Amino acid sequence: MILNQTTDPRMTKLAGLGAATVYEANGQRDAIDPAIKPLDPTSRVAGRVVTVDLEPGDNWFIHVALLEAGEGDILVVDAKGYVQAGPWGDVLTLAAQERGVAALVIDGAVRDSQEIIASGFPVFTRGVCIRKTTKVQKGRVNVPVTIGGVLINPGDILVGDADGLVRVGQNDVDTALASSEQRELKEETMRARIREGASTLDLLGLTRP
């Protein structure tokens, strides 16, 4: 189920191809820490990134960042991996949906998880926590951030689903899409050969030990 609301057909194609295929086809680089997972494993998303550098335990600048995000964007929040408070919940989810935001990726925690899943809004998070946050500490919007060990710049692309998240540089989208489509075609051919009786050893040029 592809849930992003982008009008860019390239994003829809990347989401459909899936994070694992894009990762493999695009140089096997920039896979985000697998501890950051979708609340709903049926989520599929790809979109342009709007970043937020957040002080742990505070969510003031998430509200600010939402005003910079628009249709098809993915809001990427660097909460420094802090999971002892939930700076995102059902109200922010609704606000994001009203702006046409495609998804949230947070290196931190969220709350109201069941309400978020029911809303159909894709959220990738390190954890879930009911503890409240403050709204007093300044953050930064649209600056480079590191999420799950990967440096992400504003305008980069993220592709995410149940297999994980992968970054694609904003200047690499067309190349990544073409390579991913080629890889998918190759794997479809392999699947057809397997159904005809070929072994994976034969197809991969491997031998028995």
pLDDT digits (tens), the chain, 209 positions = 444 455 789 999 999 999 999 999 999 999 999 999 999 999 999 999 999 999 999 999 999 999 999 999 999 999 999 999 999 999 999 999 999 999 999 999 999 999 999 999 999 999 999 999 999 999 999 999 999 999 999 999 999 999 999 999 999 999 999 999 999 999 999 999 999 998 999 888 888 88
Domain ranges of the chain: 9-204
Residue listed under structure tokens 């069941």: 114
Give the angle 96-173-144 at the CA atoms, nearest 5°. Answer: 55
- Which residues share a beta bridge with 74? 49, 103
Q: Identity (one letter) of the amino acid at 130? A: I
CATH class of 9-204: alpha beta
Read off φ and ψ for residue 15, nearest 5 degrees: -60, -40
pLDDT value for 6 = 57
Determine if the pTM surpasses 0.75: yes
